[in-house]
Amino acid sequence: MSQPVLVDTLQAENGRLIGVLTLNAEKTLNALSLDMIDLLSAQLSAWAEDERVAMVLLQGAGEKAFCAGGDLQNLYSSMLSQRLAGQRDDVLANWYAKEFFAREYRLDYQIHTYSKPILCWGHGIVMGGGIGLMAGARHRVATEKIRLAMPEIGIGLFPDVGGSWFLSRMPGRLGLFLALTGASINAADARYIGLADRVLEEADKCGVMEALLCQPWDADHAGNHRLLGAVLRCAEEMHGVPAPGPLRQHQDLIDHLCTRESLEQVLQAMAECHSADAWLQKAVGAAARGAPGSLALAWRLLQAAPHLSLADVFRLEYGVALHCAAQGDFAEGIRALLIDKDQQPAWQDASTTDHFLNSPWVAQQHPLADLGHPHGNTR
């Protein structure tokens, strides 16, 4: 049986090591399982303490995807079991959901705050949990084949994995638009909104790795960040500036649609938007079909996130995710998309999620209470 994460090290010319982590589940488009999360976290922790390791490369196996999201099948089974047991009112009753989201968010936070350089090579499909991995890396490459999206409103969840944090910090109202539509974006748009640092071609990867193996790596993390950044900048300069993607092309209209006082007004403006552009029409159509409760959660979370630290965002999202698993539309969304594949979800009213931002724990007992505290990191 193949390992869900392949672990390797490459020796640079001066003897320092480059750690390589490869998500290795091509059949599921490298979707994150609990085993993958645990392996990634443990190896990153080990390499953080290994003075020989100068940097880490995070990549996906195959040509189709870096990571298409989280392990929806097992989450669906756990939600069905919770409901069959009559435990919908107990937000903390689903062991698998509690473990999956807690460990996934811890891994994402670990990547955000990792002291050594992490290079995330984003190629192919990058969705949901895949963006959670990519967003936190300090060095992120988007290739010509990348397609990024946070499509959670279509499955009864919300843009999680820190989405409330990074979507709320994008130019104009683009983050809100992406949260409410789940629209897919290309490499140029990913760079523009801050989800990628460099746009390269997949064919550049071998040359980049050769250049990295020649660098004078040492124990200075800041210096190693500069070395990696310089290699990527040099590689990108060979291609020039990519043409603006559809998100940037339509930014003025998107800002106009999404600058309203209420979610209802934003959705109404989208519904009345008639454009000949196929990308824009697909996006606003997805918002109209999304779970009303998920749209409401996305709206409220993006309003709250600018006032919170990254650690606090993960703590907030964790409670909301467990509410979605227990009482929300998450199971119904997965059923309609992946199980029965009828594309006919029976969504609940948006008001059913009114209490989802209420934490199931007091602050000191929150399972993620330690995020941001051990080393004084409050990012």
Which residues are within 8 A (CB) of 266 and not within 5 positions of it... i.e. 6 or more apart? 176, 180, 257, 258, 260, 299
Dihedral Cα 36, 37, 40, 46, nearest 10 deg? -130
For residue 79, give the 3-state DSSP assignment: helix
Neighbour order of strands in the sheet with 5-11? 5-11, 17-23, 53-60, 118-122, 139-142, 198-199
Q: Which of 71, 104, 108, 160 is catalytic?
A: 160
Whether the CB-CB separation of 147 and 128 falls below 8 Å is answered with no
Q: How far apart are CA 265 and CA 261, in angstroms?
A: 7
Q: How far apart are CA 63 and CA 156, in angstroms?
A: 29
Active site residue 129: yes
Whether the CB-CB separation of 313 and 164 falls below 8 Å is answered with yes
Q: Which of 19, 60, 69, 70 is catalytic?
A: 70
Token pair of 3, please? 């390992």
User: For residue 347, what is the DSSP state?
Assistant: P
Q: Which of 71, 152, 204, 312 is catalytic?
A: 152
Q: Which of 124, 129, 290, 319 is catalytic?
A: 129
Kindly tell me the burial class for residue 157, based on how many C-beta atoms sit within 10 Å of its own C-beta (0-12, 13-18, 19 or more).
buried
Give me the helix-helix angle, 263-271 and 278-289, nearest 10°.
130
Active site residue 70: yes
Residue type, 189: D
Cβ contacts of 265-271, under 8 Å, gap ≥ 24: 266/176, 266/180, 266/299, 267/180, 267/295, 270/180, 270/181
Q: How far apart are CA 187 and CA 200, in angstroms?
A: 9
Q: How far is CA 115 from CA 59, 120, 305, in A?
A: 19, 15, 24
Q: DSSP letters of 52-63? A: TEEEEEEEESSS
Active site residue 152: yes
Could you give the residue numbers annotated as active site?
A: 70, 129, 152, 160
